[in-house]
Amino acid sequence: MSNIILKMDSISKSFDGKAILSDFDLEIRRNEFVTLLGPSGCGKSTILRIIGGFVRPDKGRVLFEGKDITALPPEKRNVNTVFQKYSLFPHMNVEENIAFGLKLKKKSPEYIRDKVQYALNLVNLEGYEKRDTLSLSGGQQQRVAIARAIVNEPELLLLDEPLGALDLKLRHGMQRELIKIKQEVGITFLYVTHDQEEALMMSDRIIVMNKGIIQQAGDSKSIYDEPQNAFVADFIGESNIIGALMVKDLLVRIQGVDIPCVDTGFGENVPVDVVIRPEDIEIVPENMGYINGRVMSVIFKGAYYEIKVQSEDFSWQVQSVNPAPVGEMVGMTVLPDNIQIMHKPASEDEEVVKDE
């Protein structure tokens, strides 16, 4: 059996004459937790709806376990979708909502009862069977929606920004629940979000998208530590992105200062872009680091201080556990491993990186 559970092959889709996806390719491996991450309008929800059968592509094929399902209606696919709007049936209680799909499949009452109880245990809603769904909190309603999807034992579970309407504490709780469910049930997850922290926390693999094109795909660490273009670097977490000159292998010139790095193969005296994460910059006394600057602002964020340092015409973002007095001149230093070198884009449109 192939490890690829789903494949999108040269998918194109337009709405009102505007291309959303063009010759889009995607493969998802069995038992992966894959997150489509990108800004609104980048095409990620369209991908989910095409896989779920709610939208028909203009061109291309959707293959599920090697079989072409492009023309199949949603109910004929072994796929379930959980949307941000939970779409629970208000005239049904929790148990009836979860059991709805099983009743349509004409399963026995005993089978349905066992499956509903299993799903309730999985989402920590034991004892809520007879509750009116309208009396539940947002987090509880979302758990019911997830239980209703899981109880049908889909091979692939699609989640379209399912936690977007929850407050921060509930969202973090549900993130942990989804990770637990994935580990216990073994379902393949395809998750859509624009929340970078959510994607980094939950995913086996992140697919960063912009304008219908995959910018970068990989695990959380590689996406965060080694962004392949400025869009990814800027979208995933906070970054200092500054133009520089690659003097030679292992040496980059930033604001006129030659600084050791670990990158090679860019050539000599080549303009590049440099990415340095705020947490990787250390503030030191003036003239004790590579670059000097003036502290412009300091904001306490709980676990760290967010510090803005102005150096020439660039404002550096720094995250430090130690504050620095506003107005003071300081130095800044960074380890070679924490300097990420990128090619300059060939045009105003970012260079894109196709999926692995």
| Backbone φ, ψ for residue 314 (5° rounding) | -120, 135
pLDDT per position as a tens digit, 163-185: 776 777 777 877 888 888 888 88
Q: Which domains does the chain have, with CATH numbers?
A: 4-225 (3.40.50.300), 282-333 (2.40.50.140)
Characterise 192 by phi-psi region: left (phi > 0), alpha (psi -120 to 50), beta (else). beta
pLDDT of residue 291: 97
Question: Which band of pLDDT confidence, cut at 50, 70 and 90, is reported for residue 261?
Answer: very high
Give yes or no for residue 199 having a pLDDT over 70. yes
For residue 86, what pLDDT band results from cuts at 50, 70 and 90? low
Q: Which residue has the higher pLDDT, 277 or 154?
A: 277
Whole-number Å distance between alpha carbons of 69 and 52: 10
Taking only the tens place, the pLDDT of each residue in 283-299 is 999 999 999 999 999 99
C-alpha span between 97 and 91 (Å, rounded):
9
What's the pTM? 0.83
Nearest alpha carbon to residue 201 among 229, 235, 173, 228:
173
Residue 198 scores a pLDDT above 80: yes
- Residue 345 confidence (pLDDT) above 80: no
Query: What pLDDT was estimated at residue 153?
Result: 82
Longest dimension (CA), the chain: 77
